[in-house]
Structure 1
Amino acid sequence: MKRLLIILHDLSAGGAEKMMARLAGALVDAGNDVTLLMLTGGGVNVALVDPRVKQVELRSARSASAVPALASFLRQNHFDAQLAALTHVNVVAIAAAALSGTLARLHVSERNAFSRDKHVNSSLRVRLAYWLAPLLYRLIPNPVICVSRGVAQDLVETTVARTQDVTIADNPVLDNDFRDKPPGCPTHRWLQEKTSPVIVAVGRLAPQKGFDTLIEAFARLPVRNARLIIFGEGALRDDLLAQAARLSVADRFDLPGYADDPMAQVAAADCFVLSSRFEGSPNALVEALSTGTPVVSTRCPYGPQDILEDGAVAPLVSVDDPQALAQAIGIELAQPRGRHRQTRIDAAARFMSSRAVQTYLAALLGRQSS
C-alpha cells in the first residue's frame, strides 16, 4: 500500500476538482492510502469524495499564503507520491515541496490548454503563476502530468517546457460499472414530459464554453419546436438570457443552474452539445457518450478530436461556427436516437476509473500497479 497525497485549492464545482475527487477514490480502490488536501477548503464536490479518503483543510486565505503550512504538513507526513492540480496550486506545491525536502516525490498536473487558460483570469497573482510555472516545470524532477496529448503538446509548443517535461494520464471520468447502471431520473420539466426535441449542454457560463455560439446555432435550427437547456452557473447568465431574447428563442431556452445529476438530464435528452472554444479533456463529453445520447462537439483544442476519434464516433465542427453547429445538431435530431449508440458507449469506456487510475499510478510511482 502506497501513501498518496492530492493537493487542490478546494473542491468547488470545476471539472478538475471533480476529477481529483474521483481519482482519490479510484486510487483507494487500487489499494492505496489516499489523503486529499485543500489549501483553503470546502466546495460542492466534497460530496463526491469517497469516505475512505482522508481530507485535510489548511484554511488559508488564498493559495499563495498556504506555502508555509503546506511545507510543514509535507515535512510531518511522509507520502510516497504527492500530486498537485491546476497551475497556481502547482506553483504553491513546488515551493512547499522545495522547502520541505519532498520535491522528488512531487508531481504536478495541467488540466487545460495552457496557452488559452492563462488569459482567463486577469488577477496579478494568477498571471504571475502562469508566467512562473513553465520555468519551474523545467526544473522539477518529475514530468508534468497532462490530461490529454493536446494539453501536453500545447505546453511544449507555447512555453519553455520540453517534451521530456510532460507525460499523459487519462481522467477517471466513469465508474467501472457505468454500463450496468441505469440513468437517474431527469428533474427538468422539459425532459420529464418531453413534447419536442431537447438539446442539452453542461458547463460554467463562461466565454470558454462557447454557449453564445450554441444559442446562435439553436436559433438557426430548422426544427422550430426544439428546446435548449444549459445546466451551469457563471458570469454570463444575463448575457446569454439577453441573447436568447434578441434571437426570439427565449421561450424555448432555459438556464436552470447546476444540476445535482447532470448526466440524468443528458441521458433523457435528444442531443448533447459541447460548444467550447478550448478544453483540456472535456469530462462532460465523455459522460455524455457514456449515456448513449447523440453528441455534437466543436473541434476545439484539446480533447474532442481524441475522444471522438477525429469524428468517427460523433460529429466535430469548427469553433465559433454557428451555421456548422446548427447543421450538425439538425442532422443528429433527424436520425433515430439509438443510431450508433453502442459506438458512443464503447468510446467512453476508455475513461473508466480502473483504466485511468493505472496511467496515474504509472506516472506517480514509475510503474504499473495491480
Structure 2
Amino acid sequence: MKVALFLPSLEGGGAERVNLLLAQGLKERGAEVDLVLAQAQGPYLSAVPKGVRVVDLKAPRVLFSLVPLVAYLRRERPKALFSSLSHANILALWARGLAQVPTQVFVVEHTPLKESRLGTISFRERAAHALLPWVYPKAQGVVAVSKGLAEELVEVFRIPRDKVRMIYNPVVSEGLFRKADVEEEVLSHPWFAPNQPPVLLAVGRLSREKNFSLLLRAFARVRRRVPSRLLILGEGQERGFLEALVGELGLSEDVSLPGFVPNPYPFMRKAAALVLSSRYEALPTVLIEAMALGTPVVATDCPFGPREILEGGRWGQLVAVDDEVGLANAMQEVLENPPPSEERELMRKVALERFGVDRAIQEYWQLLGG
C-alpha cells in the first residue's frame, strides 16, 4: 500500500517533525511511504527516515506545486495522501480532483484557525481559511490534532462532524529519548556547567504567535529576583526585534538566541523548565516532549492544546495569555520549588501513554482501513 504525505517543505516546525514520525510509523507497518514536498528544503531533510522516498515537486511556492502534484497522483496513484497546513490541504484536494484518481485525501489541521486570523497572517492564509468550509468536506477525512481544534472546525468552519477525527500527534518515541541522551552540545555549553544558574528553555519559531517578547519581559522580572538564564532555540522573522528587546531590557548576559537546533532534547532534559508563552497553538509538541523527559513546564493557557496536554494544570502551571506578571511568577515558582522526582516520573508515564507514537500511528492506520 502506497501512502503519500504532502508538505510545503521541511523547514523547522512541529508539523514537519510530526510528519517525519508519521512517515516512520507507517513505513514500519508495511506501507510504502512517499514524502511529497513542494520544495525539498529545510533542516529536517537530513532526518527523513530510511526507506521513505522524498519527492521534490520543485515548486517555488506551494501554489505552483499544483501541476506537479497532479502529475504525481496520476503517475503513482497512492491509496491515500495526508496533507498538512491549510493552504497545502486545499491545494491537495484540488489536485486530487484534477487528477481524477481514487486516492483518498486526508487533511490534517495543526493551527487554531480562528485565533490565527486575529493576528498578522498572509493573504494566502486568509484566503485558505475562507475556502475551508467549501473545500474540506470534499476530503475523505479531516484530522484535528486537539479536541479544541476539532470543535472549532465543526462549530466555526461548519465542517460536518462525521468528517472530523481528533488524533493527537505522534510525539513520544524511542528516538526522542535517544536524541536526549546525546549530550555533547549541552556539556560543551558553559551555561550547563556545574554551579551555574538554572536555565529556562523555550523552543519554537521566532514568530509573533510564539509571543517571545512577553517571555523576555517576564524573564526580566524573574532575573531581578532569582539568578537564572533563558535559552530560546529557534529561528524566524522576529529575530531582529527580539535581539533589540534583549538589549533594551539589559538581558544580554543572561539570554541567548542561538538559532534553530536540530536536536533540542539534550537541552530540554537539562533545563530547569520548559516555558511556552504562545498566543495560540494547536497541540504544542514541545510541551509533550518536555513532559516525556521529565522537565517541569510553564505554559500560557492559549487555544488550543496546553490545557488539554497539562490536564488543566495537573502536569504544569498554566497562566493567562499575555499575562507578564503571571508568567514571571510561574517561572519563579518552578525555579524555587521544582516538582519532586516522583511527580516527574508520573508525568513521563502519562506523556508516553497519551502521546506515544504507537498509539497515534494505530489511529492513522485505522483511517486507511488497516
TM-score by length of 1: 0.92
Instruction: Name the residue aligned to 2:253.
Output: 251
Aligned residue in 2 for 1:196: 197
Q: Which residue identity is paired with 2:40?
A: G
Q: Does 1:262 align with 2:260?
A: no
5 Å matches for 1:305-344? 305-336=307-338, 338-339=340-341, 340-344=343-347
Report how far residue 119 of structure 1 moved: 5.3
Equivalent in the alignment of 2:67: 68
CA contact (8 A) 1:107 1:145 kept: yes
Cα distance change on mapping 1:82 and 1:112 into 2, 3 Å: same
Q: Residue 155 of structure 1 corresponds to which residue in structure 2?
A: 153
Given that 1:135 and 1:160 are in contact with CA atoms closer than 8 Å, whether structure 2 keeps it comes out as no
Q: Is the 1:292–1:338 Cα contact (8 Å) retained in structure 2?
A: no
What number of residue pairs does the alignment pair up? 364
Give structure 2 stretches of 5+ with no counterpart: none
Distance verdict in 2 for CA 1:245–1:42, change over 3 Å: closer
1:360 corresponds to which letter in structure 2? Y
Q: Give the Cα separation in 2 of the matches to 1:81 and 1:91.
A: 15
User: Which residue number in structure 2 is paired with residue 233 of structure 1?
Assistant: 235
What residue identity is the alignment partner of 2:297? V
User: Is this contact kept in 2: 1:201–1:272, CA < 8 A?
Assistant: yes
Deviation of 1:80 after TM superposition, in Å, equals: 1.7
Gaps of 5+ in 1: none
Contact 2:62–2:88 (CA<8 Å) still a contact in 1?
A: yes
Query: Aligned partner of 2:115: which letter?
Result: R
Please list the CA deviations of residues 249-280 of structure 1 after superposition, one character each: whole Å capped at 9, or x if unmatched: 23211111112311111111111101111101
What residue is the counterpart of 1:43 in the other structure? 42
Greater alpha carbon shift after TM alignment, 325-334 vs 338-347: 338-347
For the aligned residues, what is the CA RMSD? 2.0
CA drift at 1:338: 4.2
The aligned residue for residue 301 of structure 2 is 299
The 5-angstrom pairing of residues 207-226 of structure 1 reads: 207-221=208-222, 223-226=225-228
The SS at the match of 2:225 is: coil
**Equivalent residues of 1:22, 1:49 under 8 A apart:** no
Could you list the per-position Cα deviations for residues 101-155 of structure 1 after superposition, in whole angstroms to 9, with x for gaps in the alignment? 23661111111101123455644333322211231112x1522111111111122
Of 320, 343, 348, the match for 2:351: 348
Q: Find out whether 1:276 has 2:278 as its counterpart.
A: yes
SS in 1 for 2:46: helix
Code of the residue aligned with 2:158 in structure 1: it is V
Give me the whole-angstrom Cα distance separating, in 1, the residues matched to 2:63 and 2:257: 34
- The sequence identity of aligned pairs, in percent, is 34
* Range with greater deviation from structure 2 (296-305 or 64-73): 64-73
| 1:115/1:155 contact within 8 Å kept | no
SS state at 2:226 partner? coil
Cα deviation code 1:187-228 (max 9, x no counterpart): 532124451111111111111111111111111125331111
Q: TM-score normalized by structure 2?
A: 0.92
1:68, CA displacement in angstroms? Answer: 1.8
Partner of 2:207: 206
SS in 1 for 2:327: helix
* Aligned CA distance change for structure 1 residues 192 and 320 (closer, same or farther; 3 Å): same
The structural deviation recorded for 1:180 is 7.5
Tell me if structure 1 keeps the 8 A contact 2:35–2:54: yes
- State how far apart, in whole Å, the 2-side matches of 1:83 and 1:228 are: 37
Cα pair distance change 1:101/1:226, threshold 3 Å = same
Which letter maps to 1:253? V
Separation in structure 1 between the aligned mates of residue 55 and residue 232 of structure 2, nearest angstrom: 34
CA distance in 1, matches of 2:286, 2:153: 23
CA distance in 2, matches of 1:179, 1:239: 34
Task: After superposing the two structures, state which structure 1 stretch, 166-175 or 300-309, moved more.
Answer: 166-175
| Cα distance change, pair 336–279 in 1 and its aligned pair in 2 (3 A) | closer
Q: Which residue of 2 aligns with 1:117?
A: 116
User: Bigger CA drift: 329-338 or 20-29?
Assistant: 329-338
